[in-house]
Amino acid sequence: MPQTELQKLITDYLAYLEIEKNRSPKTRENYEHYLNVFMEFAGIKNPAEITDQLVREFRMTIARRNIKKITQSYYVIALRNFLKYLAKRDIASLSPDKIELPKTPSRQIETLAYGDLERLLAAPKSDSLRDLRDKAILETFFSTGLRLAELCSLDRYLDLERGEFSVRGKGDKIRVVFLSSSAKDAIKNYLKKRVDVEEALFISIDKSGKVIGRITPRSAERVVTSRALQAGIAKPVHAHELRHSFATDLLMNGADLRSVQALLGHANISTTQIYTHLTDKQLHEIHKEYHGKRREE
Residues identified as active-site: 147, 170, 240, 243, 266, 275
Whole-number Cα distances in Å, 201 to 138, 196, 255: 13, 11, 29
**Cα dist. 262→68, 145, 272 in Å?**
30, 11, 9
DSSP conformation letters of the chain: -PPPHHHHHHHHHHHHHHHTS---HHHHHHHHHHHHHHHHHH--SSGGG--HHHHHHHHHHHHHTT--HHHHHHHHHHHHHHHHHHHHTT--S--GGGPPPPP-PPPP-----HHHHHHHHT---S-SHHHHHHHHHHHHHHHH---HHHHHT-BS---TTTTEEEEE-GGG-EEEEE--HHHHHHHHHHHHH--S--SBSSEEE-TTS-EEEEPPHHHHHHHHHHHHHHTT-SS---HHHHHHHHHHHHHHTT--HHHHHHHHT-SSHHHHTHHHHHHHHHHHHHHHHHTTHHHH-
Phi, psi of 177 (to 5 degrees): -125, 165
Nearest-angstrom CA–CA distance, 148 and 242: 10
